[in-house]
Structure 1
Amino acid sequence: MQTKQYLVPLALLGLVVLRPVSLSATPRPDPLGRMYQQADIPIKGRITDEGGLGLAGVTVSIKGTTRGTTTNANGEYTLNAPETATLIYSFVGYASQEIAVGNRSTIDVQLLPDTRTLNEVQVVSVGYGEQKRRDVTGAIGSVDIRTIQNVPIQTADQALQGRIAGVDVQSNSGVPGNGVKVNVRGTGTINNSDPLYVIDGFYPGSINNINPNDIASIDVLKDASATAIYGVLGANGVVIVTTKRAKAGKPTITLDSYYGSQSAIKFLPLLGTRDFATVSNNAKDNGTADNNSSAWLSGRPGNILQVGSERVPSLANLDNLPLYDAYDSTRRGQRIDTDWQRAVYRAAPLRNINLTVAGGSENARILASVGYLKQDGIVQGSDFERISARINGDVTYKRLKIGSTIYFAQENRLQNIGGTSGTTASITKASPALAIYNLNPKYTLGFNGNERSRDGQDAGNPLRDLIINDNRNLAYTGYGTAFLEYEFIPGLKYRLNTGVNLYLGTTTNYNPVYYSSSYDFRAPGQNSLYQNDYRSVGWLVENTVSYEKRIDKHYFTVLGGYVARSENRTYFEAQKLGFPDGDRIRVADAGGTVTLYNGNNGQTRQVGLLGRINYEYNDRYLLTVNVRRDGSSRFARDYRYGVFPSASLGWRVSEEPFMKNRIPALSELKLRAGWGQIGNQNIGDYRYQQTININARYLFGQNYVSGGGTVSDAATANLKWETTAQTNVGLDFGFFSNRLSGSIDLYDKVTSDILLQAPIEASTGIDGRPTLNVGRVKNQGLELAAQYQQNSGGIDWSLGGNISFVNNRVLSLNLNGDQTAFLPGGADNSNSNRFLTRAAVGQPVGVFYGLVVDRIIQNNSDLYYANAADGNSASTYGGGLRPGDIKYKDLNGDGIINDADQTVIGSPIPKFTYGFYGRAGYRGFDVQVQFNGVYGSQIYNAARYWTEGMQRNFNYDANTLNRWVSETNPGNGKVPRANSNDANNGQVSNRYIEDGSFLRLRNLTVGYNFPAAIRSKLGNMSNLRVYATATNLLTFTHYTGYDPEIGSGYRQDPNAGDPSYGSNLNRNIDNANYPVARSFLAGIQLAF
């Protein structure tokens, strides 16, 4: 019943869409309306350029109406219009033409290049309205929609990758359905720095569940002068997405479908059984020898063991390695040599279909679309499925405009992988000497497992966990928006924008009974069912009034408004053990012991006043002023409200008389400068209040549950806004009628009073992390973007690219009054109390911090020299050093290697990011290519701690074959000796730091548009295109892990002591994260 009540607002909004249908059936009594009562005649023709070659994408519309069409790849079009109509032919970069229909049924037109700038007709979203590109004074980037409309992508945020300067987009992982990490103009805060996403005027929180096929345009507001209109929500940039809406004209039906296969880009060079056994035995023998030496020196000779006695029994003899037993009749007697990567990774299908129907008259239009995406993961046990539907409608009646949109999506995820680095990390650790299956009847579910007394392996059977467990997430996302706009007098408009959104998410994890060995099993009664329910309902109301007026050479617009929004969230989780055998009854009532139950709810409310003035004089001088006053329930009463102003100027130098004809090729030159201040409330609810954490525990040996509570958050009533001030100076240029255009921007961005959950000593009596205003972060950057487009010689082509430089550093930190303190983060996957990153004054956010490797100690003489040079440096983390161990640098010169010798060893923030693309069309053929990359970032390859550790009973990689073995076999000088008792060689150090730079061929698409002569034989089609696409086809990098595109994929459990959970302190930590896939797709597009 609760679900139904949430759907009521969406259903009511739907009436706005249904109402236009009846309005459209009533003929308009004015002369324009009577024209449509005349009979339409079919018109066809071909649009060519000055060279006589067809122009694709030319808009052909009926003057005075919103009816129209576009030309296909050959420049052909068809349209129904009255004989009295006038047709307008328009195309970017060409002069428009108007032609009366008369009694003609065929109208061919030749368009000539336009000497005006292209930016005169380009329109961008600026927040609460639109503006011509040439009039924009802030830093706003736009995605060339032509570069994505014919390219298959699975999530909408992938459309941003490499396409806009200053927007760094990295995949968090290759998990199906996962989104990307987006940073606009650097890492502005230690907290989550995701931008605000606005879809058709509504704030859904994310654009991942939007069908990419529904997108009409994407604009990104980057500087404070542009984002200040969004106040507290715009600190990290604003991504504005506008979805497709219907145009007047005959009904159109479009279908886009593709199918393909995905695969892993690379495998790690892990060892086979014989090499694994060799390294394992070497590690065990060295460990035994070290223990013997320590025992002898400490006067305990009775503890001396024979070298070789501690080897893993199944690996101890290279001539007697494990064989398949009699239960495996096909491989009986063969050596077990399991390649776990090839067993777990797979070729995974990917399929998608989108159907859109649109149509209407000039006073009422409607569009409906449905989409289906099924993406199987390249790792077994990971799948994603999305079903989406959207309907929108618009009504125009005299001075009144009404419209609404309803969107719904169901997403179903199978996620047995255990996060971004669960199973994929386990694959690298699993022993090649362990068979995947065991057909012995006592092995429940048929999967093999390690016997500790025989195999000694710490890692289990990763494929089994992927297959037998059933961990799913089912989410329903919906939102509905409606707007009403009324023009009282010319130029004076009132607009009401409302919306509601709903999210219902359920996660269920079922772990069944199994038996794989006497060590690796889940006993009857221990099978478990976990369920997590999360619900969110929000609403938004915006009232704005705008007025625009031109008086001689003066033109101005004024906007004022009021905004209110609210979001309510409910969360509950529970877990039970002991379900009936057979695993068929998976409801909570069937379980026995309750092992977990938690629940909570929260509410966020926000109100705001906004205002904007745009002024233009003589088409040369531009001024924009914004102000926003916001109030947020996330702060105490005295700090609840904030005022966020901005101002920007523009000078269109190319319009000055002294510039006219001075540079004939110059079509546009505009200077921009702006400043603004914006806030951030990106923290949890009630952080300014003292909260109590209620825990049920067994206390003092009692046999019943006792209730207890601890203070989880200290009261911080003076908690205030995180504030970002940004200055931007830019230049827009265009040459050759803006066929060559671009921009250059310099910015300085300082974030103050950063909101952060800071660590605090448990002795204070607080077991949580109170939220404080702790410091300042600065970003300075340079952005360059340019594109060239041409249509000549029968080829319509364009090239574009961008590059962004950023310098990031922490200016100050104040943790518990200590100005010299640092904030640790990125808990090590081998030890949750050992951190990999930190935020420290003078350094970029999230720098890697650790020891610096000096060398591998080669022999006893080298060891003696090291002791003589550094005093007591042989006494380190792991006790006495021996030949083959790593010698770290004693940076403070105190003769001891310890935490005081740690330093900055790398940064995850790249020196620059870049992207470039190309597009071309010729006689129906089209090709698109896109590259993107980063340069100068480092990755902490935490997976190598295991694969090169040679300590635990995990598998190793091929680098260990180049380890130090002896003085006569010193290896490559980079990999230390194998040692099962090592506590020195695996310290956090620059040994695991690698260059994260890469250049990736993100997309290559080739298509063919069939001409009208062929389409007419297949049906009444206005478009027929087939295409093939390859994604992630090539990657150029020196990184040795699965994938250099890490993003912020590694996230430690928030309950494991990592204060950086979910923050920018987790970037570029690779624990064998789930890699992005390479895919090959084939598709078809139809239109009627």
Structure 2
Amino acid sequence: MGIARQSSKAVAEITVTGTVKSEQGLPLSGASVKLVGHTSGTSTDSQGHFSISVPNKGGRLVISYVGYEDYYVNVTKSNANHLDITLKLKSEQADSVVVIGYGTMKKKDLTGAITSIRPDKIAEDNPKTVQDILRGTAGVTVGLDGSAKSGGTIRIRGQRSVYSAGGHNDPLLILDGVIFYGELSEINPDDIAQIDILKDASAAAIYGAKSANGVIIISTKKGKMGKPRINMTSNIGLTTMGANRRVFSPEGYLKYRQDWYTEASYGVNKTTGKYEPYQGEVAAGKQGYYELPTSSMLDHYGITIDQWRDYTTNADDASDNEIWARRLMMRGTTLTNYLKGKSFDWYDHSFREGVNQDHNLSVSGASQRMSYYLSVGYLSNQGVVQGDNYRAIRSNLKVDGKITNWLDISANINFQDRSDGNIAVDWGKQITTNSPFADYKDDDGNLVVHPMGDEITANKGYNFDFDKQYMSLERGYTVINSIFTAKVKLPFNITYSFNVAPRYQWYYNHYFTSSEHPDWIATTHGADRGNGKRFDWTLNNTINWSKAFAEKHQVKLTLVQEAEERKSWFDEIKARNILPSDALGFHETANGDPLYSSFSTTDSHETADALLARLFYSYDNRYMLTSSVRRDGYSAFGTSNPRATFYSIALAWTFTNEKFFHWTPLNSGKLRVSYGQNGNRSLADPYIALANLANGTGTQGYVDPSGNYIQYYYLRIDRMANPNLQWEKTTAYNVGLGRVNK
């Protein structure tokens, strides 16, 4: 009986295969394929292929992908072998969902200026950083950063403030619904599903005191229905100089020195009355003094080679090249190398072609009750500057569970361990202080400490490779960013959400410069050991209520209570004049001389809270209103102004939904008008409103029983308290016209 049932089931199903592509013919990876009326489903692989079992009698499949219109197809035995399916982009994605802060909304209902970056664009661009995803977005300016870490500053609709310290002009970052205090480098672009950018004041005002520079909302990927999917991406590329602005070649360097000294000799020729060279300084009356003697030069000035030589007192065996070089003030090493025809390209030795590697692996899947997404990535970048390196290991775990019909929970844990411990060449110093005739290595192949020569007093040159032998650096961060969410469906179409997002960061900076270096003294060089940690948390309680009535009216209400806290600690010791030797580098700080060493500690503590409300009303999909009010409090502001209130209102009219509008080439047209207030609380010092005590110039001290001299500084007030310090506010009026043509 059991065998018969299994055999019956086997012949009662057919396997349907197919490929899902975009209108441009590109495969759509991760598209959902479901059998209508059943729970079974699958998703496409990286090539857009899928395979799904349906009953022997056939069925109806629905294929869906974010940003595209759903596609329905009837399947039977006759067409089950292979389906070629092309999905069409939604018209301006009017029905696509946009994250607007503490909730979502269909794009057709928006009243503010919000830009969404679709998943397919993110996948096609193959970005290296989050900034790469944002490049080319209207109203968003992304700077270029040629370092190994890469990235670049982000500005939404320009710079809002002349005050720039403390990231004062940076946009607010939101990750999966909560404030993100980390760096964008902590977010793997491969884990991003969608980015929404709130650009105008009315859209961003929901974030009140932190939104003056716009808001970037990042949503990460989730598992999709079907079998577990394993994705692997591997990218290897080169970083090269955008433009080579080379310094002088050996020949160009000699011409530069000749022109420099010749220019200084210009004056009025008392005989001709003209402004000519060789009228002043040591070259007065000595035509061709700074020029290499050639027959044409001698004929030009009407002098002989002996006359040219007799301008200076020279050694008996001095060649004309040596005489000329000495007049150009070349001495010692550079003179010797010039006469030998020996030169070195310091420019090429300061820059390189950097090799970049980015490898990512993800595993994801979903069932009716749970979805999961796990990824790990390794990033290794080399900048174009020698010694500029960056390494990061990133991982993300996201689990969503449907516990009951009324309770959903989720956890998102992001991990990063990155190393910023690179000692890069000071290329500006190396290519401008070293002559092309400066030494890199001596005749025995040893690196030279003074490329321009030991006999030079003013500029002995700079050799990075020599200095690096006496330096070491270990610097890095370990970060765990987590988000825990619970969502409860209540009666009367009310949804309650609870989010808490703790973030931990550990930081270390171990730097050593050895006094064994010929030019570095022990009292100013040694070991620096710094260690710090940071703990932040954000908590919000959100209530959303929506109601549609009388067929044409739609109302949505959002109420939020939010609280946050940030704490940081940093301790650093600087050991100098380490005795008897600094051979152990930054691993030895206890034997530093107390007279030249120091210990410092810094900590900070900030708190903030907020209450806000937002109301959305739509009539007949034609007229829309969004209004919000937010009350913020922040510990860094003065006692007279610890809180501030921010308002916004926005109106929109979808004129293409009017009965009188019949122009078919225009799919959707909307007129928007908005007003909003935003605040900016980004301060470099969270205690700037308080008076500050600092060391004065006076000292006193005593000798302890062990014979050590203990010295104290008098205290002074270097900053008065400012109880009136308050939010920087921006007020904006916006008018916008949106349209989509067929």
> Contact 2:514 / 2:525 at 8 angstroms: preserved in 1?
yes
Aligned residue for 2:528?
A: 530
> Contact 2:532 / 2:569 at 8 angstroms: preserved in 1?
yes
The 3 A distance-change label for structure 1 pair 49 and 123 is closer
Q: CA deviation at 1:565?
A: 0.5
How do residues 420-499 of structure 1 correspond to structure 2 at under 5 angstroms? 422-438=426-442, 447-451=449-453, 453-454=455-456, 456-457=458-459, 459-466=461-468, 468-489=470-491, 491-499=493-501
> Contact 1:324 / 1:336 at 8 angstroms: preserved in 2?
no
Structure 1 unaligned residues grouped into runs of 5+: 1-35, 291-303, 737-1088
Identity of counterpart residues, as a percentage? 24
2:159 to 173, 187, 195: 187
Aligned residue for 1:649?
A: 651
The 3 A distance-change label for structure 1 pair 81 and 706 is farther
The 3 A distance-change label for structure 1 pair 524 and 718 is closer
The 3 A distance-change label for structure 1 pair 46 and 590 is same
Aligned residue for 1:907?
A: none
Q: Structure 2 counterpart of 1:429, which letter? A: T
2:194 is equivalent to residue 217 of structure 1: yes
Aligned residue for 2:418?
A: 411
> Contact 1:566 / 1:606 at 8 angstroms: preserved in 2?
yes
User: RCO (CA 8 Å, sep 6+): is it higher in 1 or 2?
Assistant: 1
Aligned residue for 2:306?
A: none
The 3 A distance-change label for structure 1 pair 385 and 111 is closer
Q: Structure 2 counterpart of 1:77, which letter? A: F
Q: CA deviation at 1:561?
A: 1.2
> Contact 1:54 / 1:76 at 8 angstroms: preserved in 2?
no
Aligned residue for 1:97?
A: 72
- SS in structure 1 at match of 2:348: helix
Give CA-to-partner distance per residue, 1:235-277, whole Å, 9 cap, x none: 1100011111111221110000122332223322311345434
Q: CA deviation at 1:319?
A: 11
Distance 2:534 2:326 in 1: 57
Aligned residue for 1:44?
A: 17
Distance 1:405 1:62 in 2: 30
Aligned residue for 1:991?
A: none
2:91 is equivalent to residue 129 of structure 1: no
Q: CA deviation at 1:64?
A: 6.4
> Contact 1:439 / 1:446 at 8 angstroms: preserved in 2?
no
How do residues 667-682 of structure 1 correspond to structure 2 at under 5 angstroms? 667-682=667-682
Give CA-to-partner distance per residue, 1:812-846, whole Å, 9 cap, x none: xxxxxxxxxxxxxxxxxxxxxxxxxxxxxxxxxxx
Distance 2:451 2:567 in 1: 46
Aligned residue for 2:726?
A: 720
Aligned residue for 2:397?
A: 391
> Contact 2:222 / 2:373 at 8 angstroms: preserved in 1?
yes
The 3 A distance-change label for structure 1 pair 252 and 466 is same
Choose 317-326 or 588-597, whichever is displaced more: 317-326
Distance 2:85 2:541 in 1: 46
2:140 is equivalent to residue 167 of structure 1: yes
2:177 to 198, 201, 226: 201
Aligned residue for 1:256?
A: 233
Give CA-to-partner distance per residue, 1:29-52, whole Å, 9 cap, x none: xxxxxxx9x99864312458999x
The 3 A distance-change label for structure 1 pair 567 and 109 is same
Rg (Cα) greater in structure: 2
Q: CA deviation at 1:641?
A: 0.9
Give CA-to-partner distance per residue, 1:95-144, whole Å, 9 cap, x none: 63254779985463666869x73433322111111111111110111224
Give CA-to-partner distance per residue, 1:588-645, whole Å, 9 cap, x none: 2254454343222111111000111111111111111111111110112331111111
Distance 1:505 1:112 in 2: 47
Aligned residue for 1:1021?
A: none
Distance 1:110 1:149 in 2: 20
Q: Structure 1 counterpart of 2:615, which letter? A: I
Give CA-to-partner distance per residue, 1:637-675, whole Å, 9 cap, x none: 33111111101011111110001xx21211101111111
The 3 A distance-change label for structure 1 pair 306 and 45 is closer
Q: Structure 1 counterpart of 2:256, which letter? A: V
2:545 is equivalent to residue 547 of structure 1: yes
The 3 A distance-change label for structure 1 pair 462 and 212 is same
The 3 A distance-change label for structure 1 pair 185 and 434 is same
- SS in structure 2 at match of 1:174: coil
Aligned residue for 1:666?
A: 666
Aligned residue for 2:382?
A: 376
> Contact 1:381 / 1:467 at 8 angstroms: preserved in 2?
no
Aligned residue for 1:852?
A: none
- SS in structure 2 at match of 1:259: strand
Distance 2:235 2:179 in 1: 30
How do residues 989-1000 of structure 1 correspond to structure 2 at under 5 angstroms? none
Q: Structure 2 counterpart of 1:574, which letter? A: I
The 3 A distance-change label for structure 1 pair 469 and 61 is farther
Q: Structure 2 counterpart of 1:167, which letter? A: V
Aligned residue for 1:729?
A: 735
Aligned residue for 2:120?
A: 146
Give CA-to-partner distance per residue, 1:470-506, whole Å, 9 cap, x none: 2342111111111000111262100001110112111
Q: Structure 1 counterpart of 2:663, which letter? A: I
- SS in structure 2 at match of 1:531: strand
Q: Structure 1 counterpart of 2:415, which letter? A: F
The 3 A distance-change label for structure 1 pair 429 and 322 is same
> Contact 1:399 / 1:488 at 8 angstroms: preserved in 2?
yes
The 3 A distance-change label for structure 1 pair 236 and 653 is same
> Contact 2:382 / 2:389 at 8 angstroms: preserved in 1?
yes
How do residues 242-253 of structure 1 correspond to structure 2 at under 5 angstroms? 242-253=219-230
> Contact 1:322 / 1:433 at 8 angstroms: preserved in 2?
no
Distance 2:377 2:601 in 1: 34
Q: Structure 2 counterpart of 1:176, which letter? A: A
TM-score scaled by structure 2? 0.81
> Contact 1:691 / 1:711 at 8 angstroms: preserved in 2?
yes
> Contact 1:652 / 1:669 at 8 angstroms: preserved in 2?
yes
Tell me how large the CA RMSD over aligned residues is. 3.7
Distance 1:287 1:332 in 2: 23
Q: Structure 2 counterpart of 1:433, which letter? A: F
1:316 to 319, 322, 326: 326
Q: Structure 2 counterpart of 1:166, which letter? A: G
The 3 A distance-change label for structure 1 pair 688 and 525 is closer
2:630 to 604, 628, 631: 628
Aligned residue for 2:83?
A: 108
The 3 A distance-change label for structure 1 pair 722 and 49 is closer
Distance 2:21 2:520 in 1: 72
> Contact 1:504 / 1:536 at 8 angstroms: preserved in 2?
yes
1:356 to 352, 362, 372: 362
Aligned residue for 1:569?
A: 568
Q: Structure 1 counterpart of 2:731, which letter? A: A
How do residues 938-977 of structure 1 correspond to structure 2 at under 5 angstroms? none
Aligned residue for 1:230?
A: 207
Q: CA deviation at 1:452?
A: 6.1
Q: Structure 1 counterpart of 2:543, which letter? A: V
Q: Structure 1 counterpart of 2:441, which letter? A: Y
Q: CA deviation at 1:449?
A: 3.6
The 3 A distance-change label for structure 1 pair 56 and 215 is closer
Distance 2:123 2:23 in 1: 27
Q: Structure 2 counterpart of 1:186, which letter? A: G
Q: Structure 2 counterpart of 1:211, which letter? A: N
Distance 1:54 1:193 in 2: 38
